[in-house]
């Protein structure tokens, strides 16, 4: 371990942590809904493993008193710029393959579920901070740093983590608790995140950081200040 990494992790151990779970929903994680994305066997295994690691981290966070914040995509109306990017038409209607449409199976959590009282944040774009109250919740709850996990690495994980550091929170990303639909893309996204956004590690290291935090036992419940 480099001297810089030692300093980074030592600093995190003195601050109040939180786990931010992003978009582990059926549209993004259920293999029955991913047929149109062309995942090869390696990518399918990577996504499945990431969902499993997210579930393990949620269980560890709860056991150690680390608050969990659930960030979920909830599409109700067309996102015009995204429709243009995907279809070339600003005014295209929501298609049958639109992910995470509110009230449909695709919007349901997959492989892991929030508990009553845990903070849930609905987003309509890539970042969990864009037009949401996530930042306010973290500040009221006294969170000093965040671990960001979920799907997918190059899209909503990258957007959420980038906004987190820009808003003042150090970011830790366990590389085995996020994934993309191409393993090379996943690796490239992690490399880019490591340059400017986050410390990259593993889920086991993250659980160890939580366990070693002197503040873990004194954490307030997620959403206590801002309302769940």
Three-state SS string over the chain comes to CCHHHHHHHHHHHCCCEEEEEECCEHHHHCHHHCHHHCCCHHHHHHHHHHHHHHHHHHHHHHHHCCCEEEEEECECCCCHHHHHHHHCCCCCCCCCCCCCECCCHHHCECCCCCCCCCEEEEECCCCCCCCCCHHHHHHHCCCCEEEEEEECHHHHHHHHHHHHHHCCCCEEEECCCEECCCHHHHHHHHHHHHHHCCEEECHHHHHHHHHHCCCHHHCCCCCCCCCC
**Which residues are bridge partners to 149 per DSSP?**
21
Active site residue 156: yes
State both tokens at 209.
């950081």
54, 100, 155, 156: the catalytic one is 156
State both tokens at 175.
């590389």
Whether the CB-CB separation of 163 and 134 falls below 8 Å is answered with no
Rounded Cα distance between 166 and 223, Å, is 21
Q: Which residues are catalytic?
A: 156
């Amino acid at each position: 371990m480099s001297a810089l990494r030692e300093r980074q992790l030592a600093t995190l151990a003195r601050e109040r942590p939180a786990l931010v779970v992003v978009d582990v929903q059926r549209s993004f994680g259920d293999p029955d809904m991913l047929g149109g994305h062309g995942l090869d066997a390696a990518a399918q295994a990577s996504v499945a493993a990431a969902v499993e690691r997210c579930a393990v981290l949620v269980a560890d966070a709860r056991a150690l008193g680390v608050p969990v914040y659930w960030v979920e995509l909830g599409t109700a109306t067309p996102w015009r710029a995204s429709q243009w990017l995907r279809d070339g038409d600003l005014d295209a209607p929501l298609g049958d393959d639109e992910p995470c449409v509110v009230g449909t199976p695709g919007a349901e959590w997959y492989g892991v579920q929030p508990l009553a009282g845990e903070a849930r944040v609905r987003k309509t774009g890539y970042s969990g901070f864009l037009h949401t109250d996530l930042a306010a919740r973290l500040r009221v709850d006294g969170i000093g740093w965040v671990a960001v996990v979920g799907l997918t690495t190059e899209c909503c994980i990258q957007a959420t983590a980038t906004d987190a550091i820009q808003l003042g929170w150090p970011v830790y990303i366990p590389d085995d608790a996020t994934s993309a639909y191409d393993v090379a893309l996943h690796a490239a996204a992690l490399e880019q995140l490591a340059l400017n956004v986050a410390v990259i590690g593993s889920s086991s290291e993250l659980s160890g950081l939580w366990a070693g935090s002197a503040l873990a036992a004194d954490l307030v419940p997620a959403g206590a200040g801002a309302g769940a």
